[in-house]
A and B are shown apart, each in its own frame.
Chain A
Amino acid sequence: MGWVLALTLVVGLDAALSGYRAVQGRSGRLPSRRRDLTAHLTGLRVGIMLLAVPVVLGVMATSEAEREAVARAGVLWSSWLALPTVLALLVLLTLTWRWRYLATALVLGPMTWLRPVAAVMAGVAGAAQVEEWPARAAVLLTVVAVLAVEPVVGRVSYCSSGERRRDPGDLTGLAR
């Protein structure tokens, strides 16, 4: 259960950060803690929705021991990205702007770029822990769901109707 819980925390944090990233650089408004919190929660909500199907499928297709093995592989193979990211987030929350800049420039920016690599590595390593195809499919679908959170939040929030991207000049409807 320990590894499953750890993976749940990693995926939950990733979904929240994906929601945050999805709305950054969209409206031109000054940063606001309230809007940031809303964005994090939206990411978490969308993550839960997207992950529901693969998680249910995975629970049905695997034994508890297999789930632990999959989760262990997922956590370990993504730890090279997750651990520096958590450290950088602690810097962002606690230190001065110079340190926050360094945390972004040296860790968060490059790690965002490398995030799909970590997700795919974790997924492949996890899928290798199970033998049945439904279980493997569930693991790989989980990876797809994790990577889909940011574009889905962006699309839902800023590309309504899919016809025309939202004009940042339209400030109506933005949370205060």
Chain B
Amino acid sequence: MSLPPLEISDVITPGPVRRSEAVARLRAAGQLPAARLVERMPATDDVLDDAHVVALMRRVHAELQRLGEELQLPHRVAEDLDRLRERAGRPLRRVVDLGCGSGYVLRWLSHAPSMAGVELVGVDHDPGLMEWAARLGAADGCRARFVVGDALAPGVAIEDPEATVVISSGVLHHLSAQDLRGFFAAHEAAGVAGFAHYDPEPGWLTNLGSWVFHRARMREAVSRHDGNLSMRRAHPAAVLRDAVAAGAPGYSAECASGQSVLRVLRPVTGTKGA
């Protein structure tokens, strides 16, 4: 029996990664084309070339950012943050973007009038991406800052939880259904005011749209592979709502069911004590 499918980016990071082990993991999951892609990546003494992987991940995230631009993701996040702020009934002082990648959403938000005075902190486990996000932020004149680590861990990005909202895009499908409960429980433990995590609703329409857009827009084979796979790995709205109810019962959760061309990425939102 094959193991659950893996995204290449999850297999080749964080470094150092042995190429033979990455290839073996993909083969064991029955992903032979993905295994061939990794086989062709440069390595020294079987360890994947770090500079190559860092540059590849940046290219993948640059392409992902383009998709985010076309999906109007930052506009949607800004709108949902306003809604969360209203529902929470208290001022919003910080937005933490968990697994922020290139930091696109925060860099965009830093120019949004509705986010004036709100601190923007991006967190990712990949130091190469965080260093790049910080330089992009400086080049784009943004006030967001970027740190390496676990966004929900104490002392990393959350200082005043009652005034902090945690967001993410394209992160939830990296977690198994079993791990979702713990993920939302970490929000409750941190005590944040709310959260909005964006991911696609799985289904045939999502898969079709994803396939067309990845063929039309993505140049990197890794982007196409991981992008299409992520749509299939996404969790249905009901699973997300149940995970919030089980892991973070102190939060009122919302997540729209059903596929819609009107919202490819839909958030699961939670408001503390609402």
**Do B135 and A169 have beta carbons less than 8 Å apart?**
yes
Interface status of B9 (Cβ within 8 A of chain A): no
In the complex, which residue of chain B has the Cβ closest to the Cβ of A24? B66
Bound Cα distance A106, B65 (Å): 19
Interface size on A, residues (CB 8 A): 28
**Do A30 and B108 have beta carbons less than 8 Å apart?**
yes
Residues of chain B with a CB closer than 8 A to A27's CB: 62
The number of residue pairs between A and B whose CB atoms lie closer than 8 Å in the complex comes to 88
**Do B62 and A25 have beta carbons less than 8 Å apart?**
yes
Bound Cα distance A83, B71 (Å): 22
Residues of chain B with a CB closer than 8 A to A154's CB: 219
Bound Cα distance A109, B132 (Å): 28
**Do A105 and B209 have beta carbons less than 8 Å apart?**
yes
Interface status of B54 (Cβ within 8 A of chain A): yes
Bound Cα distance A148, B71 (Å): 27
In the complex, which residue of chain A has the Cβ closest to the Cβ of B213? A109
Interface on chain B toward A: helix, strand, loop, or mixed SS?
helix
**Do A112 and B217 have beta carbons less than 8 Å apart?**
yes
Partner of A167, one of B55, B65, B66, B215: B55
With A109-B217, A112-B217 in contact, is A165–B72 under 8 Å at CB? no
Bound Cα distance A75, B250 (Å): 61
Interface status of B148 (Cβ within 8 A of chain A): no
With A105-B70, A109-B70, A165-B55 in contact, is A28–B216 under 8 Å at CB? no
Interface status of A133 (Cβ within 8 A of chain B): no
Tell me the A residues contacting B by CB distance below 8 Å: 24-31, 97-98, 100-102, 104-106, 108-110, 112-113, 154, 165, 167-169, 171, 174
